[in-house]
Structure 1
Amino acid sequence: MSFGVDTGMGCLRDASVIPALAALGDDYDECERTFDVVYEHECAAIDVGPEANCVAFLSGWGDGAYPVWVVPHADGDVVCFVADMLILDGVTA
């Protein structure tokens, strides 16, 4: 499994924040401020409402596909989510 990046930026969020993020996207100035924070600090928590947020970050090597692993609990809930941004590719310990 992987996720695609077409802007050099990714984000982690719950599906419940999609409507709030869509509304944020309608405000061009707010989007630009958010992108500026991410580009300046390499990541940013985006507050999109009560108990709803997401974390946006620069992707390791820009546009492309990045591998993802999701580990479910026995009851089906997700207990771990790992996105490999490929920044350590070829690094040995």
Structure 2
Amino acid sequence: MPDYPRTVAEDLRCGSYPGDAENRAVQFGWQNFDRPACATIIQGLRTEPRAVLEYGESVTFSPQPDLSITCSSTQEGIRCENPNGYGFFVSKTDFTRYRV
């Protein structure tokens, strides 16, 4: 979602970059899967277009052998949850995280 950077609160940032560098975030997800999701910028990375998750579709993937994450798409945005009970919602205007 690099076309739609979000201004995120300091407590939602990943802390990868000093100061206010992550204020306009374009990446959302987990850096550590046992902690809440966070938001960051893309700095020094070139990203390629990925597959599109159409409205009403869900995908489950395993970034580690013992971990599955499920993301679902609606017209409102995308919601992802991990089995530790952490989740997040991201849309063109919002990034929130929650505990299931």
**So what's the TM-score if we normalise by structure 1?**
0.28
Which of 1 and 2 has greater Rg?
1
Ranked by relative contact order (alpha carbons within 8 Å, sequence separation 6 or more), the top structure is: 1
Structure richer in helix, relative to its length: 1
**So what's the TM-score if we normalise by structure 2?**
0.27
